[in-house]
Amino acid sequence: MTNTIWGIAMNPMHQARSILVIRPILFLMGSVSIWASPAFALDGQVQIHDPSTIMQCNGRYYTYGTGGSSLVSDDGWTWRRGATPARRGMAPDVIHLGDRYFQYIGSNPGGQPHGAINMIWTRSLDPNSPDYKWEDSGVVAKSDGVEFCNAIDPGVLLDPTDGKLWLVYGSYFGYIRLVQLDPKTGQRVDPNDKPVDIAINCEAAVLIHRDGWYYLLATHGSCCRGADSGYNIRVGRARKVTGPFLDHTGLDMLLGGGKLFLGSGGRVIGPGHFGLIDEGDGVQKFSCHYEADLDRGGASVMDIRPLQWRDGWPVAGENFKEGTYEIESVRTGTALELAVEGVPVGGRRSRRPPGTAPGGPGAGGGGAGMFAGTGGVIPPQNVAEVSTNWPTGNIDIRMANYMCQAQQKWTVTPVADAGGYLGSPYFKITVAGTDRTLAVGEDGELVALPAFTGGHEQLWRLDQLTDGAWRIMPKFASTAKESLVLSAVGSSFATLAKFDPGSDKQRWLFKTP
């Protein structure tokens, strides 16, 4: 329930909740399981509230939430319950520095706004490792219950410009505050230093840095009320880590400003707790939780989404959705297609005798001859009709100007039980209306196979880059850690090549035909 104090909205204390996890519904198409919904969320057990920034350790992904909850994943797509750390609390954050993982955890030992942030650390996040042992290092920030701050909801930033470590904290009970930490110990540099007030009327704040700007992403609105929660993530930016953090209108976040980064939409309500995931090579993602996922009974669940940048501001990208697309090269503007003889949509045009005009509705007075059209609506091509002359075996892949023809339309479908990568499953890419499957041939070049069988060479990873374009990578390259991706060569040929984040040869657009 939302309260108010000194005219400022405050959230009730975060609470850990137990919840039923419902797996996405599957159906069978032939011998391969396909996701039934075009919009899909993370797989497995993803119920969590206030997830920390996702960390990697020994090839696995880890995140920690309110109440001692944690999640772990082998691939970043399918998640399961993890071990409970040595200290439970609210809205933790984690950072990896040197050979240690520092976890900062909020609590309200005397009731809000009497808060404290404790730090614990370990050399491994894997409970089976001999280096797994959480050590308690005490309090790094606190509020006395009288001051205008509630010391919970920690967020940590290692400044890439100078190596300094910073902690932001606070909730709706007052200011969001900033203090400096020692990156070697994780403790305060000087406990007597006065914290810097940088925002108000928000919580779950975190700092990130890009291109000379510091960005403060913080959660506004009410939490902990399921589908009645008003959580949304807003952002301001500053040239200095201490602020002032202004939104796109110039309003200071100390005065309640904040540009909307992500609000409720679709079947999810109340996003909060931004966490940056930088995979390098122009691929950034972010984690968050939703207060209510309506497809999972209103559960609070984690999500991972692409992060884009536009005009100097972070933009929440959308996870790839199943559908039929033209796949267009950013570099050349030409489209991926089967190397077959195309048939014009509506059939080949014949010249009309002079003095005649087409009939039918909408014909109008366009005149006669080859420019007159058919006089009616031309339907999309029927792939079954135009593919009768296509080879029955493997077909090469090329690029050409897009002309709405059947060999240029691709259906992209997530494949169940084929694993995944951070935030997404693997996909199959087939010519729309057929089972002809985009794959990597034995010679390492692109080919369309007659049918999908589920091999690694037929599965694709789709990563949205920070400019909104997509990188297309075969699964075998992804699992081998080789950055071989779909690449345009000139305007008529596509191949696999090492990814160059500075080039547009390997950037692709998925357009609805």
Give DSSP secondary structure letters for 364-428: TT--SSTTS--SSPPPPP-HHHHTTTS-SS-EEEEEE---S-GGG-EEEEEBTTS-EETTEE-EE
Structural domain of 226: 3-316
pLDDT band at 486 (very low <50, low <70, confident <90, very high): very high
The DSSP secondary structure of 24-70, one letter per residue, reads: PPEEEETTEEEESSSS---EE--B-SSPPPPEEETTEEEEE-GGG-E
Q: Domain check: are 304 and 389 in the same one?
A: no
Between vectors from CA 510 to CA 26 and to CA 427, what angle results, nearest 5°?
30
- Residue 355 lies inside a defined structural domain of this protein: no
How many Cβ atoms sit within 10 Å of the Cβ of residue 48?
Answer: 28
Least confident of 111-120, 289-298, 474-483: 474-483
What's the structural domain count of the chain?
Answer: 2
Phi, psi of 283 (to 5 degrees): -110, 115
- Helix, strand, coil shares of the chain, percent, nearest 5, are 5, 45, 50
Q: What is the DSSP letter of 353?
A: P
Q: Domain check: are 154 and 268 in the same one?
A: yes
**Mean pLDDT, rounded, for 47-60:** 97
User: What are the tens digits of pLDDT across the range 415-469?
Assistant: 999 999 999 999 999 999 999 999 999 999 999 999 999 999 999 999 999 999 9
Record the tokens describing residue 316, joined without a space: 């929440």
- Residue 364 lies inside a defined structural domain of this protein: no
CA–CA gap between residue 481 and residue 465 (Å, rounded): 18
Q: Domain check: are 192 and 71 in the same one?
A: yes
Q: Domain check: are 48 and 98 in the same one?
A: yes
Q: What is the DSSP letter of 323?
A: E
Report the pLDDT value the prediction gives residue 112, as an integer from 0 to 100. 83
Q: Domain check: are 169 and 289 in the same one?
A: yes
CA–CA gap between residue 143 and residue 107 (Å, rounded): 10
Q: Domain check: are 286 and 418 in the same one?
A: no
For residues 278, 280, 281 and 286, what is the CA-based torsion angle, rounded to 10 degrees?
-10
Closest CA to 204 of 49, 81, 16, 96: 49
- CA distances from residue 442 to 195, 427, 447, 457, 458 in whole angstroms, order as listed: 61, 20, 9, 9, 12
Q: Which amino acid is at 326?
A: E
User: What are the tens digits of pLDDT across the range 344-397?
Assistant: 998 887 665 555 555 544 444 455 566 778 788 999 999 999 999 999 999 999
Site of tokens 């290092």: 137
Report the pLDDT value the prediction gives residue 371, as an integer from 0 to 100. 78
Contact 108, 115 (CB under 8 A): yes
Q: Is the pLDDT reported for residue 498 higher than 50?
A: yes
User: What are the tens digits of pLDDT across the range 111-134?
Assistant: 888 999 999 999 999 999 999 999
How many Cβ atoms sit within 10 Å of the Cβ of residue 440?
Answer: 23
Look over the chain and give the mean of its residue pLDDT values, rounded to a whole number: 89
Contact 507, 331 (CB under 8 A): yes
Report the pLDDT value the prediction gives residue 478, as an integer from 0 to 100. 59
Q: Is 2 helix (H, G, I), strand (E, B) or coil?
A: coil
Record the tokens describing residue 412, joined without a space: 């992209």
Q: Domain check: are 187 and 244 in the same one?
A: yes
Q: Is the pLDDT reported for residue 14 higher than 70?
A: no
Instruction: List the beta bridge partners of residue 272.
Output: 289
Residue 385, C-beta contacts closer than 8 angstroms, at least 6 positions apart: none
Instruction: Write down which residue in 261, 296, 316 finishes a domain.
Output: 316
Phi, psi of 177 (to 5 degrees): -120, 160
Least confident of 27-41, 154-168, 226-240, 483-497: 27-41
**Mean pLDDT, rounded, for 146-167:** 96
- Residue 356 lies inside a defined structural domain of this protein: no
Q: Domain check: are 236 and 119 in the same one?
A: yes
User: What's the whole-model pTM score?
Assistant: 0.88
Residue 377, C-beta contacts closer than 8 angstroms, at least 6 positions apart: 362
Instruction: List the beta bridge partners of residue 310.
Output: 313
CA–CA gap between residue 116 and residue 482 (Å, rounded): 45
User: What are the tens digits of pLDDT across the range 223-265?
Assistant: 999 999 999 999 999 999 999 999 999 999 999 999 999 999 9
Q: Greatest CA separation found in the chain?
A: 95
Q: Domain check: are 247 and 337 in the same one?
A: no
Q: Domain check: are 139 and 277 in the same one?
A: yes
Q: Domain check: are 290 and 390 in the same one?
A: no
Q: Which helix (H) or strand (E) holds 171?
A: none
Q: What is the DSSP letter of 254?
A: G
- Residue 365 lies inside a defined structural domain of this protein: no
CA–CA gap between residue 217 and residue 161 (Å, rounded): 19
Record the tokens describing residue 324, joined without a space: 């039929």
CATH code: domain of residue 148:
2.115.10.20
**Mean pLDDT, rounded, for 79-88:** 95
Q: Is the pLDDT reported for residue 6 higher than 60?
A: no
